[in-house]
A and B are shown apart, each in its own frame.
Chain A
């Protein structure tokens, strides 16, 4: 069984959505018995606790949900958890997916230079549309769904045995299907969903060994 560490911050609307959508994936995967997730949830997602949890087990895969900057991943307390030039070496010999804004461009690049096997992330702001009426049940938000199904497919594919590059390709195919679907919808929000999906797809990237598998 694969061992996955996953961050589930919840200090604002964005992180709550990221985490609730990730819990859907956790339930789906754990039902198959393929992987065991170690969640770092809410206020636990700070540098000291995350580093300690990461060192405690030889995890096969790191899946991070959080806010991000070009050089860092931000914790539930607003301070960095991983920062370029500080502690990117914690990703050494790991496959990482950071569903976090912008951090592939500097943090991901440096992490790979320092021995991270592969880093999947975004070169700029990861954005999504959502309906605040579903704040208590983000997983029921049909408008947010395409943004998370396209990206949940990355960790899901890797856990099921795809390489990093194959997982990215599956995600791209899902993006293209969702874009095509919303392009034919005549609703006021459809053009914004299409624009945001196209943008997220454009900035989604993988660095390092894209043939790597867990």
Chain B
């Protein structure tokens, strides 16, 4: 899967999150979904951190399906 597909998958996941909720990412701070989507699009450290979370989750489904 190319990187842009992964970014789109992560953004699609984030978009369903209620707007008022926040994700704490350690010393980087706490971010709502719109801030996280912006970081994912920028592909910076925060964007990569949250992308890693969602992609690990999505890959776990694939691993289950492959078993």
Contacts and interface: CB of A to CB of B under 8 A. Distances in A.
B30 A195 contact: no
B56 A195 contact: yes
B22 A13 contact: yes
Interface in B16-61: 16-18, 20-30, 49-50, 52-54, 56-57, 60
A130 B26 contact: no
A212 interface: no
A127 B24 contact: yes
Interface stretch (A40-48, A52-60, A104-112, A184-192): A184-192
Main secondary structure of the interface of B (DSSP, over half): helix
Most A C-beta atoms less than 10 A away, residue of B13, B25, B60: B25
Given A68-B27, A132-B22, A198 B13 contact: no
A192 B17 contact: yes
Nearest to A17: B24
B24 A131 contact: no
Contacts of A14: 24, 26, 29-30
Nearest to A187: B18
A188 to B, nearest CB: 5
10 contacts: A13-B29, A13-B30, A68-B26, A74-B27, A101-B26, A127-B53, A132-B20, A132-B21, A188-B18, A196-B23
Interface of A: 12-14, 17, 67-69, 74, 100-102, 124-133, 143, 188-189, 191-192, 194-196, 198-199, 202
Given A69-B27, A74-B27, 17 more contacts: A67-B26, A67-B27, A101-B26, A125-B28, A127-B25, A127-B49, A129-B23, A130-B22, A130-B30, A188-B17, A191-B16, A192-B23, A196-B23, A196-B53, A198-B56, A199-B53, A199-B56
Closest 10 CB pairs of A and B: A101-B26, A195-B57, A67-B27, A14-B24, A199-B53, A125-B26, A188-B16, A13-B30, A195-B53, A128-B24
